[in-house]
Structure 1
Amino acid sequence: MSAELASYGLSFLAGTLSVLAPCVLPLLPILLGSALNTHKLGPLALAAGLAITFTVIGVLIASSGAVLGLEQDTLRRFAAVLLILFGVVLLSSHLQHYFSRLTAGLGNSGNNLLYRLSGDTLAGQFLLGCVLGLVWSPCVGPTLGAAITLASQGESLLHVTLVMAMFGMGAGLPLIALGLLSRQAMLRLRGKLMQAGKVGKQVMGIALLVVGLLILTGFDKSIESGLLDILPTWMTEITTRF
């Protein structure tokens, strides 16, 4: 239970950090400016498309273990190792740059596709957001991968969907917030946002390392057992429903 609850917050943070990635943030003033020129709700439509695509991609990948018939203990150990690896990547600027170089070709091809799409309507902005989710997936691989790994820890499709929905919300809400600013304001804030992204990655990297080690050692179950003894019955019933 405790691991599942923590996964919601970590997934939301991962989604937010994905928008602050160096390969994503520089494009936001252009994309949001175009969305606002289309309609005042353009950024909302763009964010909704992005959130839905990230959620669908995550659910499909995170559910693949159950489809393949892998045992839950095997999935837990594999997920713990992945979380530790993602944590190390997020803590290392060198590894992040190396990952960016590996995915640069996919990102450039995707960005070329974006420029060809028409977003002259709200539906067009929503479609553009959906394509953004596909285009940016390789670029935000460490954060998206961490969210998918967290989601795969759940034993129900509902939990998997909720975790990935939190990632989608984390990625979409900053777009809506930045859409309320002028393009000049966004450009002024870009440096501060990139710095915040770096700090956020450090925090999340440490959190992923801790969660991964807890799962790998089985100590997360001990913590969960202790929380079940402390928490009131009504709270336990709510959290265990998922």
Structure 2
Amino acid sequence: MVEHLLAAESTGVNTTVLSGGLLIALPIALLAGLVSFFSPCVLPLVPGYLSYVTGVSGADLAEARRGRMVAGASLFILGFTAVFVSTGALFGQFGQVFQGENKEIITRVMGVLVILLGLFFMGWIPGLTMREFRFHKKPTAGLLGAPVLGVLFGIGWTPCMGPTLAAVGTLSINEATAGRGALLTAVYCLGLGVPFILAAVAFRKALGAFGWVKKHYAWVMRIGGGMLILTGLLLVTGMWFSIVGEMQTWTNGFTVGI
């Protein structure tokens, strides 16, 4: 599905690689991925995920072979990246089909949605987002089951990951191409996945860093929610278009069909 959409995009007129919109959206997607990883819905489960995808018990993780740890984490990341990038491509295609002359109105509506997601993320609007949806039936532990577990991780919902990923999805719709939507969600996966790799490479040190983050969860949620609210305000007020127009003048020389 993703390959078909990207192929269709490449046959069209070349567009700017780093358009003004992407220059703003890519750092937001990266930060959203990092915030998701360090949120209380993901960070405490990292040792459990690493144990499961490597087939090594939690007590033995610190002594496990680094190559096996990195392989398991990488396969796990590959699983949820396939889910998220496919979704981002579909959202981008949706935006291309339905925006047209209504782009500005749709962008402002999405801005309101992103503001609400930010408030949800900070816990100021309790309700549906406070619930979790996870698949409790897990695949075989070890490297073979790692990508499957990643897929199950990707199609679940948690109050910490759901709002940030949905916000990246709205930005994918705003970019209005499958290629750009896939790129945005790939960068989100980079922010979410790289810390998994670092934790696999240096597990003992990672545990120390995780302990510090756990003491500051409130700030993680405030930073993530504040970023979403600010993004939503830019979309609602139209300042997003002004910034995009200004940045567009910097990138006119870089073109590719995405």
In the other structure, the counterpart of 1:157 is 178
Change (3 A) 1:195 1:54: farther
8 Å contact 1:52–1:130 — kept in the other structure? yes
8 Å contact 1:13–1:170 — kept in the other structure? yes
Q: Which amino acid aligns with 1:118?
A: T
- SS of structure 1 residue aligned to 2:253: helix
**Distance (Å, rounded) in 1 between the aligned partners of 2:168 and 2:26:** 9
> 5 Å matches for 1:143-154?
143-154=164-175
In the other structure, the counterpart of 2:140 is 118
Report how far residue 145 of structure 1 moved.
Answer: 1.0
In the other structure, the counterpart of 1:78 is 109
Change (3 A) 1:94 1:209: closer
2:39 paired with 1:21: yes
Report how far residue 138 of structure 1 moved.
Answer: 6.3
8 Å contact 2:34–2:191 — kept in the other structure? yes
In the other structure, the counterpart of 1:169 is 190
Scaled by the length of structure 2, the TM-score of the pair is 0.74
2:77 paired with 1:47: yes
**Distance (Å, rounded) in 1 between the aligned partners of 2:168 and 2:227:** 12
8 Å contact 1:29–1:186 — kept in the other structure? no
In the other structure, the counterpart of 2:223 is 203
**Distance (Å, rounded) in 2 between the aligned partners of 1:67 and 1:226:** 26
**Distance (Å, rounded) in 1 between the aligned partners of 2:144 and 2:97:** 33
> 5 Å matches for 1:1-242?
1-37=19-55, 39-40=68-69, 41-67=71-97, 71-90=102-121, 92-95=122-125, 98-101=127-130, 103-104=131-132, 106-107=133-134, 110=135, 112-114=136-138, 117-120=139-142, 122-136=143-157, 140-182=161-203, 185-195=205-215, 198-229=218-249, 231=250, 235-238=251-254
Q: Percent of aligned positions with the same letter in both sequences?
A: 26
| Cα root mean square deviation, aligned | 2.8
Report how far residue 123 of structure 1 moved.
Answer: 3.4
Count of residues in Structure 1 that have an aligned counterpart in Structure 2: 227
Q: Which amino acid aligns with 1:9?
A: P
**Distance (Å, rounded) in 2 between the aligned partners of 1:198 and 1:12:** 20
Report how far residue 56 of structure 1 moved.
Answer: 1.9
Higher fraction of helix: 1
Deviations 1:188-219 (A, max 9, x none): 43332335554344234333333322222223
Deviations 1:95-114 (A, max 9, x none): 3x64553x23x23xx2x223
Q: Which amino acid aligns with 2:175?
A: G
8 Å contact 1:50–1:171 — kept in the other structure? no
Q: Which stretch of the first structure deviates more once superposed, 54-63 or 153-162?
A: 54-63
Change (3 A) 1:30 1:223: closer
Which 5+ residue runs of structure 1 have no aligned equivalent? none
Report how far residue 73 of structure 1 moved.
Answer: 2.7
**Distance (Å, rounded) in 1 between the aligned partners of 2:45 and 2:246:** 46
Report how far residue 3 of structure 1 moved.
Answer: 3.1
Q: Which stretch of the first structure deviates more once superposed, 156-165 or 59-68?
A: 59-68
Q: Which stretch of the first structure deviates more once superposed, 76-85 or 218-227?
A: 218-227
